[in-house]
Amino acid sequence: MRILLTGRSGQVGWELARALPALGEVIATDRNTANLADEDSLRRAIREARPDVIVNPAAYTAVDKAEAERHTAMQVNAAAPGVLADEAKRLGALLVHYSTDYVFDGEKRTPYVENDAPNPISHYARSKLEGERAIIATGCRHLILRTSWVYGPRAANFYQIIRRRAEANQPMVMVDDQTSVPTPSAFLASETIKLLKAGGTGLLHLVPSGHATRYDFAREVVRAMNSRSTVEAVKSDRFPSPARRPTYSVMSSASAGELLGEAFPDWRILLERGMKAWTQA
């Protein structure tokens, strides 16, 4: 099996580059060899590779900047997945693509399932939803995985910010009125491999069990590190931002779990497991 991977330098792409060789030959690309903002570059990379599977973790993820850089966000998150899907259909390949909990407006108060109606409230979220729709519209074989609050040992993410402050025993102020599911990049990669082996297709939610606010997450990191940092809970209006975020975007991964015949661990277990592994690495 030949697998074309985009975004190999990103936090999810890096984990996938390590995990995907279990399934076959991996052609790992970055923006220099398969630029999602350049349709010609993207099509050329796919046609040269002639993959059986295309895995696309690459995305425009700057939620606030997307309010100003709307064209770029739409090009990378919506138009490029459509190109990938078009090429996948031409080759008879499977396209694996990652989307976001932010496609929901947060008005619900129980975990979102796959057939809940999306209603994005930011331009970033609209661009990601348009990417999902572009893929489905081509009729290609696809596996779209919605996830949330991705973190890991690489790249800039909220875990890294909290870890650095906790190491310095600095006080923190964290929002406690936005609730979702923290998801390790390594979890996404390993479960993607399982889903591919199981023949998963369509649209699935893929997050650990449980839910948290940023405040909850920070407290858990501080506890695990035995830090003397204090964490103060505040409302999100303390930190005005260009983009609106849903107050509740917890998703249920029951469908993915049923397909794999497993229950996903609680986010706290995965956080503690990951922190131990990163410390020992």
75/85 Cα distance (integer angstroms): 14
Amino acid at 264: F
Using DSSP bridges, classify how beta strands 179-180 and 212-213 pair: parallel, antiparallel or unpaired.
Answer: antiparallel
SS3 category, 54: strand
Catalytic choice (60, 98, 124, 159): 124
Positive or negative, the CA dihedral 8, 11, 12, 17 is: positive
SS3 category, 189: helix
Q: Is 159 among the residues known to form the active site?
A: no
Q: What is the DSSP letter of 112?
A: B
236/227 Cα distance (integer angstroms): 24
58/259 Cα distance (integer angstroms): 25
Q: Are 202 and 169 in contact (CB under 8 A)?
A: no
Catalytic residues: 124
